[in-house]
Amino acid sequence: MTIRKAKISDAEGIHKLIRHYAELDRMLFRSLSRVYEDIMSFVVAEQEGVIAGCGALSVVSKDLAEIKSLAVNKRYAGKGLGKAIVQKHMQIASELGIKKVFALTLEEDFFLKCGFETVEKGRLPMKVWSDCANCPKQEHCDEIAVVTSVEKCPKT
Ligand SMILES: CC(C)(COP(=O)(O)OP(=O)(O)OC[C@H]1O[C@@H](n2cnc3c(N)ncnc32)[C@H](O)[C@@H]1OP(=O)(O)O)[C@@H](O)C(=O)NCCC(=O)NCCS
């Protein structure tokens, strides 16, 4: 398994993974053109020449970044790919000088295993909610906020 920053040639594989989970209501949809636009924020897990997992790190402010669109192909689930992608994001956040990383997720227990802790959504800055405008759930939001300090996480 290789964990690396995404290349342009990964965009279709990333899009396919995100579309799969978006159709299951597990994450927000991203168009292929949006994946191309944001390609520099993506990390991928490559296994047997296939994009088996992906995740994006999006800077929100001086001290804060968000992990978005974290997805692992079911065929490769439970093999540590998700955690390895999160750890790569933590390394990138550390190199950028970001102090905290958060996620809005339905996979709270996975993030707890990655060293995050659960926080009240209201404790996150307003700027974090910009994606909500595109979310069909609106006031029925069932996502849980999890956050961690960058220095707490092991480097890859
Ligand atoms: C959540 C997801 C990324 C996990 O990826 P994964 O590669 O299967 O997870 P890993 O194998 O790296 O698991 C790391 C640890 O978390 C645990 N874990 C993984 N998924 C879990 C879950 N749903 N509930 C509880 N623990 C979980 C693993 O057992 C492992 O524990 P360990 O370190 O004690 O061995 C993947 O299941 C997925 O793509 N889910 C659907 C999309 C989604 O909801 N993404 C989150 C959006 S923010």
Would you write out the chain's pLDDT as a tens digit for each of its 156 residues? 999 999 999 999 999 999 999 999 999 999 999 999 999 999 999 998 999 999 999 999 999 999 999 999 999 999 999 999 999 999 999 999 999 999 999 999 999 999 999 999 888 877 677 777 677 776 677 889 999 999 755 555
**Plot region of 91 (φ>0 → left; ψ -120 to 50 → alpha; else → beta):** alpha
Neighbouring C-beta atoms of residue 116, cutoff 10 Å = 23
User: Measuring CA to CA, which residue among 128, 14, 22 is closest to residue 66?
Assistant: 128
Question: What pLDDT, on a 0 to 100 scale, did the predictor assign at position 59?
Answer: 96
Most ligand 1 atoms within 8 A of CB, residue of 73, 107, 144 to mutate? 107
Q: Which atom of ligand 1 is nearest to the CA of 104?
A: 48
List Cβ neighbours of 77 (8 Å cut-off, separation of 6 or more): none
Question: What pLDDT, on a 0 to 100 scale, did the predictor assign at position 142?
Answer: 81
Query: Is 74 a pocket residue for ligand 1 (Cβ < 6 Å)?
Result: no
The residue whose CA is least distant from atom 12 of ligand 1 is: 80
Distance CA 66, CA 102 (A): 5
Query: Is 78 a pocket residue for ligand 1 (Cβ < 6 Å)?
Result: yes
Three-state DSSP at 51 gives: strand
Most ligand 1 atoms within 8 A of CB, residue of 110, 113, 121, 135 to mutate? 110
Q: How far is the CA of 78 from the centre of ligand 1 (A)?
A: 6
Query: Is 101 a pocket residue for ligand 1 (Cβ < 6 Å)?
Result: no
Domains and CATH numbers, the chain: 2-152 (3.40.630.30)
Q: pTM score, two decimals?
A: 0.92
